[in-house]
């Protein structure tokens, strides 16, 4: 089974780090993974997007996705370009603390997660991306929470280790939110 | 070893070091820069040397020097820098110094440059074009082997997608069999020991020990490349046996064409895919066989039509060969543009099949 996720947001929200964390966690679990990134020159506020393809068997991916089963949405600004690629029957997990009600797509289940508020509760608004990732992974089953935590620990550079604890708390809090939602069926 | 998630440039650098590469020199130029940075980061820990040269000309000649001393050496750039390197690549081919050139191209517009070369003399350059990160890892090790086996500079045709995409990678050392000893390598002795050696494009030898001279030397090299052309053709062929239409593509375009073929097959269309893995030597016999039952051959390449020449040379006039791609580069100028997508290719293959096969 092959599943795709497009991650979208604006520069500074940690979208690329979330994508790498998910890709590394799924790889560690023995799955085949491909990840591509797309972002502009802006450090803050510009378009940032990544796609991750996870497969239980032989991966036959292309690095530029025509369509996707799921989406991880940290911000609404570049949502239209993602919405047009989401297949009916798919799912979009949305950071409802920031994204507004324009987030819809035909036949796609929209799952709001108050990632910003949850992140503040665990200690840092900066960790919202990891809250959303924890919720996304728990809901979709693309990676175990422990694998995400381990991947995050490997990816955070040595000069940012002060964020490890809150990042882990954010992933686990997000996973709790995800586990409490209606589970997803088999992807199409 | 369990699979690791690695970015293409990082994976290629690690694979080169795994293959025993201990000298790397380059000059930054996207999308090659990431490979240079990865080499700079990893090479010291492996006991090797990575030089940020002042120009591509300097970098390739450093690699030539390290190769002449017997090291597994490499350099790289993209089309513009590779253009500057052509003289040294030709010299190395003719004085038989092995090294690897990582051509992280800005798209597919450098096929002629990679396969025809721009240096002087009768030489060819072995060139492998991986379809994705995992194949790039494998090709990296194979290229070092082929360089040493044939004592020649060799090239990888990569690009932005190979360099920047992350994949779960199996980073193991590949064994391609035994190699002849490097008893030709220079050892730094300047004479008097009886062990001084010469590497010279013109092979004229020393005053007391004349060499074969350019005529015999270059005839032998030409014969060597004829052997390489027969022995080292590599390709991947999918569903061509009963295909009315065969779509030929190379490098990063390959997976897109494979997916298009799988989707059109599911719709009942008899279409196959063929991908030269070695751009030189071009797998001409295998391509002719793959097209044996075809009524048309479509060439998808993201350029104005370069590989199509080799396709036509391979299949001859028996079947029409049509271009499917065009020039297409993104706004940054660093990567393939809008046509490298499954829908773009699928609609054009479908249209061409409706026109020719159904008509």
Could you tell me which residue, B355 or A76, shows the higher pLDDT?
A: A76
Q: What is the mean pLDDT of chain B?
A: 94
Cα distance from B259 to chain A (closest Cα, Å)? 8
Q: Which residues of A touch B340 (CB under 8 A)?
A: 64
pLDDT greater than 50 at residue A188: no
Q: What is the percent of chain A where pLDDT is above 70?
A: 95
Boundary (domain end) residue, out of B129, B151, B169: B169
Q: In this complex, is the C-beta atom of A32 within 8 Å of any C-beta atom belonging to chain B? A: yes
By Cβ distance, the residue of A20, A27, A64 closest to B168 is A27
User: Is B159 in the same domain as B10?
Assistant: yes
Query: Residue B168 above 80 pLDDT?
Result: yes
Q: What is the CATH number of domain A2-179?
A: 3.40.920.10
Contact A64 B167 (CB under 8 A): no
A64: left (phi over 0), alpha (psi -120 to 50) or beta: beta
Distance from the Cα of A35 to chain B's closest Cα (Å) equals 5
**For residue B70, what are the domain limits?**
4-169
> 3-state secondary structure string, chain B?
CCCEEEEHHHHHHHHHHHCCEEEEEECCCCCCHHHHHHHHHHCHHHCCEEEECCCHHHHHHHHHHHHHCCCEEEEEECHHHHHHHHHHHHHHHHHCCCEEEEEEECCCCCHHHHHHCCCCCCCCCEEECCCCHHHHHHHHHHHHHHHHHHCCEEEEEEEHHHHHCEEEECCCCCCCCCCCCCCCCCCCCCCCCCCCCCCCCCCCEECCEECCHHHHHHHHHHHHHHHHHHHCCCEEEECCCCCCEEEECCCCHHHHHHHHHHHHHHCCCCEEEEEECEEECCCHHHHHHHCCCCCEEEECCCCCCCHHHHHHHHHCCCCCEEECCCCCECCCCCCECCCCCHHHHHHHHHHHHHHHHHC
**B184 in a structural domain:** no
CB pairs under 8 A between A and B: 59
Alpha-carbon torsion B92, B94, B98, B101, what sign? positive
Kindly report, residue by residue over B278-332, the tens digit of the pLDDT. Answer: 999 999 999 999 999 999 999 999 999 999 999 999 999 889 999 999 999 887 7
B48 and B150 fall within a common domain: yes
User: Mutate which of B1, B5, B135, B343 to test chain A, going by most A C-beta atoms within 10 A?
Assistant: B5
Based on the fold, state whether residues B144 and B266 are members of the same structural domain. no
**Strands B271-276 and B245-248, sheet pairing:** parallel
Inter-chain contact A33–B343, Cβ cutoff 8 Å? Answer: no
**pLDDT tens sequence across B2-11:** 789 999 999 9
- B147 and B245: one domain? no
Q: B171 in contact with A at a CB cutoff of 8 Å?
A: no
Cβ-defined contact of A60 to B3 (cutoff 8 Å)? no
Of the three residues B145, B169, B193, the one that is the final residue of a domain is: B169
In the predicted model, is pLDDT for residue A186 greater than 70?
no
Residue B231 scores a pLDDT above 70: yes
Nearest CB among A32, A60, A66 relative to B343 is that of A66
Region B77-101: what's the mean pLDDT?
Answer: 97
Is B257 among the domain residues? yes
Distance CA B110, CA B304 (A): 11
Residue B343's CATH number: 3.40.50.920
B-chain CB neighbours of A32 within 8 Å are 3, 168
Query: Nearest Cβ partner of A62 from B3, B166, B255?
Result: B255
Same domain, residue pair B21 and B162? yes
Look at residue A147 and tell me whether its pLDDT is greater than 50: yes
CATH code assigned at B145: 3.40.50.970
Q: How many domains does chain B have?
A: 2
- Please name the residue of chain A whose CA is at the shortest distance from the CA of residue B165: A36
Instruction: Tell me if B251 is assigned to some domain.
Output: yes
CB contact B340 to A (< 8 Å): yes
Q: Which residue, B257, B333, B256, is CA-closest to B29?
A: B333
């Amino acid at each position: 089974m092959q599943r795709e996720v497009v991650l979208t947001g604006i520069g500074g929200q940690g979208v690329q780090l979330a994508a790498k964390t998910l890709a590394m966690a799924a790889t560690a679990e023995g799955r085949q993974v491909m990840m591509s990134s797309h972002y502009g020159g802006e450090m803050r506020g510009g378009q940032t997007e990544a796609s991750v393809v996870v497969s239980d068997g032989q991966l036959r991916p292309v690095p530029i996705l025509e369509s996707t089963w799921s989406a991880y949405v940290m911000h609404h600004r570049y949502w239209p370009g993602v919405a047009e690629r989401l297949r009916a029957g798919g799912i979009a997990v949305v950071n409802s603390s920031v994204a507004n009600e324009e987030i819809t797509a035909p036949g796609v289940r929209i799952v709001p997660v108050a990632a910003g508020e949850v992140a503040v509760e665990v200690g840092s608004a900066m960790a919202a991306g990891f809250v959303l990732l924890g919720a996304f992974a728990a809901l979709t089953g693309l990676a175990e929470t422990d694998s995400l935590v381990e991947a995050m620990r490997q990816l955070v550079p040595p000069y940012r280790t002060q964020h490890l604890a809150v990042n882990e708390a954010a992933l686990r809090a997000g996973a709790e939110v995800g586990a409490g939602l209606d589970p997803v069926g088999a992807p199409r | 070893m369990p699979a690791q998630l690695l970015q293409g440039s990082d994976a290629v650098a690690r694979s080169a070091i795994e293959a025993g590469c201990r000298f790397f020199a380059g000059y930054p130029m996207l999308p090659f820069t990431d490979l240079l940075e990865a080499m700079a980061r990893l090479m010291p820990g492996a006991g090797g040397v990575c030089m940020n040269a002042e120009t591509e000309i300097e970098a390739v000649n450093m690699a030539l020097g390290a190769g002449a001393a017997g090291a597994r050496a490499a350099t790289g750039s993209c089309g513009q820098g590779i253009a500057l390197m052509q003289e040294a690549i030709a010299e190395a081919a003719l004085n038989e110094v092995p090294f690897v050139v990582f051509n992280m191209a800005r798209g597919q517009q450098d096929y002629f440059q990679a396969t025809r070369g721009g240096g002087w003399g009768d030489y060819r350059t072995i060139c492998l074009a991986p379809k994705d990160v995992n194949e790039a890892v494998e090709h990296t090790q194979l290229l070092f082997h082929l360089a040493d086996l044939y004592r020649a500079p060799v090239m990888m045709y990569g690009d932005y997608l190979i360099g920047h995409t992350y994949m779960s990678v199996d980073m193991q050392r590949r064994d391609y069999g035994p190699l002849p000893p490097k008893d030709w390598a220079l050892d730094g002795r300047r004479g008097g020991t009886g062990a001084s050696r010469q590497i010279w494009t013109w092979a004229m030898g020393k005053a007391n020990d004349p060499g074969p001279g350019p005529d015999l030397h270059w005839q032998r090299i030409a014969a060597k490349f004829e052997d390489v052309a027969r022995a080292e053709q590599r390709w991947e062929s999918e569903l061509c046996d009963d295909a009315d239409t065969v779509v030929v593509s190379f490098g990063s375009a390959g997976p897109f064409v494979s997916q298009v073929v799988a989707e059109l097959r599911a719709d009942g269309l008899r279409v196959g895919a063929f991908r030269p893995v070695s751009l030189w030597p071009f797998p001409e016999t295998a391509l002719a066989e793959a097209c044996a039952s075809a009524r048309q051959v479509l060439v998808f390449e993201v350029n104005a039509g370069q590989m199509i020449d080799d396709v036509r040379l391979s299949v001859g006039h028996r079947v029409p060969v049509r271009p499917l791609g065009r020039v297409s580069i993104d706004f940054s100028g660093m990567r393939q543009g809008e046509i490298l997508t499954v829908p773009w290719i699928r609609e054009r293959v479908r249209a061409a099949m409706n026109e020719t096969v159904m008509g």
